[in-house]
Structure 1
Amino acid sequence: MKHYLYIEMDNCVGCRSCLAACTQCGGHDERNRNYVLDVNPFVDRQTIPLMCLHCIDPACARSCPAQAIQVTKEGAVLSALTEKCVGCQNCTIACPYGIPKFDRAQNLMYKCDLCYDRTKEGIPPMCASVCPTNTLQWLTEEEWKTKEQRHAIGQWSASRSPESPLEGETNVKISLPGILQGIQKLY
């Protein structure tokens, strides 16, 4: 059964539980692969989680000359394979979302891999399993369709115009209604 990581950004309260959980996921070497950004720290306390969107046709994988970045049949875009990565950093430059990071000591790219050791077994990724505000949710396709109808969720793209997106469809689904509409939330 197909699952999606769904991000309801306007629920985020900046607790950073997702970051702590990310370091505990198997194979992450206690390295955080997600981020929480302060939207406008001088004005309010709105934060948003930022992680790999697992693009359908990922720019990071397309730009890799060594084919070190694999895309699973479930749609997870994995970190660079140690034995293949040549350290060219094309992936970090190509990603329109600025997600892949490069570890100079290991000469290796790393990023969110959707906790593939868990998600391939149908277990939610660590970040979604600990989120106290339901900002990060692990949804079935049916649950996702219900949310999509209720919230009129649009397609996420990295460009200014929907006619020429840098990246098209992603496996991570995002809802930003409060942020886009300028609605103030009380925490």
Structure 2
Amino acid sequence: MTFSIVEPKDKDVQKRRKLYMELENCIGCRACLAACTQCGGHEERNRNYVYDVNPLVNRQTMPLMCLHCVDPACARSCPAQAIQIHESGAVLSAMVEKCIGCQNCTIACPYGIPKFDEEENLMYKCDLCIDRTKDDIPPMCASVCPSNTLQWLTEDEIADKKQATEVGNDKWVTSMPYLEGETHVTVNLPGVLQGTVKLF
């Protein structure tokens, strides 16, 4: 089973922006959920989630949306090749005309992101607001986040954040080895896991 990835046309990759998640900033407002439903083509469906980390213990929350894996298990497991990968690296929702409703993708994803709509017989997931991000406009979730948990940054800006943490490279997480594989979304794990305190 193969799927095609179109190489990006722009040569200056450092200028391309990525979704950056600073998880410990999350205040649980769920503005990202409301904004997600307003993105073009989402048909008012939520495609991201906010989890309570320790229910009944504290109010810590954490956003979770598709991490847009470089080698996505959802696309690899799709027998109909319904899941396409945009040249930016965004892993798109299943194509209506190709999806056969087998739900392989929902089982294969290590993060539990793809959801299956039984009425539509179709998988849907975060597509990184591709109608916006292909033109370098922030995804809806990042555009409304009041606590800077979700940010739309260049590789240079992400590198600056990494340097500012003043922790070893083995403790500042972007994707591997802590996530399943390399991703197009950058995640900075909470300071409590890094052994650091908040820097602001």
The reply to whether TM is greater than 0.5 is yes
Q: Is the 8 A contact 1:59 1:167 kept in 2?
A: no
The SS at the match of 1:78 is strand
Partner of 1:96: 110
Q: Is the 8 A contact 1:38 1:45 kept in 2?
A: yes
- 1:1-187 map, 5 Å: 1-151=15-165, 152=169, 153-157=172-176, 162=177, 167-181=180-194
Q: 1:156 corresponds to which letter in structure 2?
A: S
TM, length-normalised to structure 2: 0.85
Q: Is the 8 A contact 1:57 1:167 kept in 2?
A: no
Q: How far off its partner does 1:26 sit? A: 0.4
1:166/1:122 CA distance change after superposition, 3 Å: closer
Q: How far off its partner does 1:145 sit? A: 1.4
Count of residues paired in the alignment = 179
Residues of 2 paired with 1:173 and 1:140: CA distance?
Answer: 11
Residues of 2 paired with 1:64 and 1:173: CA distance?
Answer: 25
Residues of 1 paired with 2:50 and 2:124: CA distance?
Answer: 17
Q: 1:77 corresponds to which letter in structure 2?
A: V
Alpha-carbon deviations, 1:92-121, whole Å to 9, x = none? 000000000000000000000000000001
The SS at the match of 2:93 is coil
Provide the alpha-carbon RMSD of the alignment: 1.8
Percent identity of equivalent pairs: 72
Instruction: Point out where structure 2 has 5 or more consecutive residues left out of the alignment.
Output: 1-14
Q: 1:67 corresponds to which letter in structure 2?
A: Q
Residues of 1 paired with 2:179 and 2:16: CA distance?
Answer: 25
The SS at the match of 2:84 is coil
Residues of 2 paired with 1:181 and 1:144: CA distance?
Answer: 17
Partner of 2:5: none
Residues of 1 paired with 2:143 and 2:179: CA distance?
Answer: 30
TM, length-normalised to structure 1: 0.90
Q: How far off its partner does 1:178 sit? A: 2.3
